[in-house]
Each structure stands twice: as C-alpha cells, then as structure tokens.
C-alpha cells in the first residue's frame, strides 16, 4: 500500500493547482523531518495559490528552522499583506506574533 506522501504526490500530479493536497504534503514532509522539501512544497503552493493564507505561516516557520531568517521574515510579511487584504485578523495576529518572536 502506498504511503501518504506517495498518495499526495499522485494527487498533486493529477491536480497540481489544488492547494490543500500540496499543503498536506508539505506538512507530511515536515513531520518526517524533511524541512527543506517541505519548504519547497510551501513555496510552490504560494506560487500557485497566493491567497492560501495558511501556507505563509508554515513556510516562514520552515525557513526559520532551516536558518533562513531573512526569507522567513519575508514569508511572514507577505502573509501579513494577504491576511490584511482578506480581512483575516486571526491569521494576521499569528503571522505578526511569529515575526515579533524572531526579534
């Protein structure tokens, strides 16, 4: 039986612009300790679905875990802009908190 990562990759191959499958794949990769691959999936997700707000926080945290602080800050800031535009105050506050915690 194929594992979850393979199932998600198959689904993404069939529907590359479906943001949820790519988000789920990135979280699976993150859970297996594959932060670099997870960050790449989040980046691709943001390119294909720039309004998929949940991706910005995860992407920033992944970049931060990889020691890419400036890129992480940029991800959080871009997410803040999207959250403001969408009127999502909860996600905006999470992104702001993440940015502030970086110092």
What total number of domains does the chain contain? 1
The pLDDT value recorded for residue 103 is 81
Q: What is the model's pTM?
A: 0.93
CATH number of the domain encompassing residue 30: 1.25.40.10
pLDDT tens per residue, range 4-45: 999 999 999 999 999 999 999 999 999 999 999 999 999 999
Cα–Cα distances in angstroms (integers) from residue 81 to residues 27, 45, 55, 60, 86, in the given order: 23, 17, 13, 14, 9
Residue 2 predicted with pLDDT over 80:
no
Q: Which helix (H) or strand (E) holds 44?
A: helix 35-48
The pLDDT value recorded for residue 1 is 64
The pLDDT value recorded for residue 4 is 94
User: Which residue range(s) make up the domain with 18?
Assistant: 4-101
């Amino acid at each position: 039986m194929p594992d979850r990562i393979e199932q998600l990759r198959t689904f993404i191959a069939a529907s590359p612009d479906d943001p949820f499958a790519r988000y789920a794949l990135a979280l699976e990769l993150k859970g297996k300790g594959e932060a670099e691959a997870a960050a790449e999936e989040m980046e691709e997700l943001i390119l294909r679905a720039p309004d998929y707000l949940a991706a910005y926080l995860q992407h920033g945290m992944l970049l931060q875990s990889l020691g890419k602080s400036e890129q992480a800050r940029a991800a959080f800031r871009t997410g803040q802009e999207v959250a403001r535009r969408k009127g999502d105050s909860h996600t905006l506050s999470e992104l702001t908190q993440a940015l502030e915690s970086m110092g």
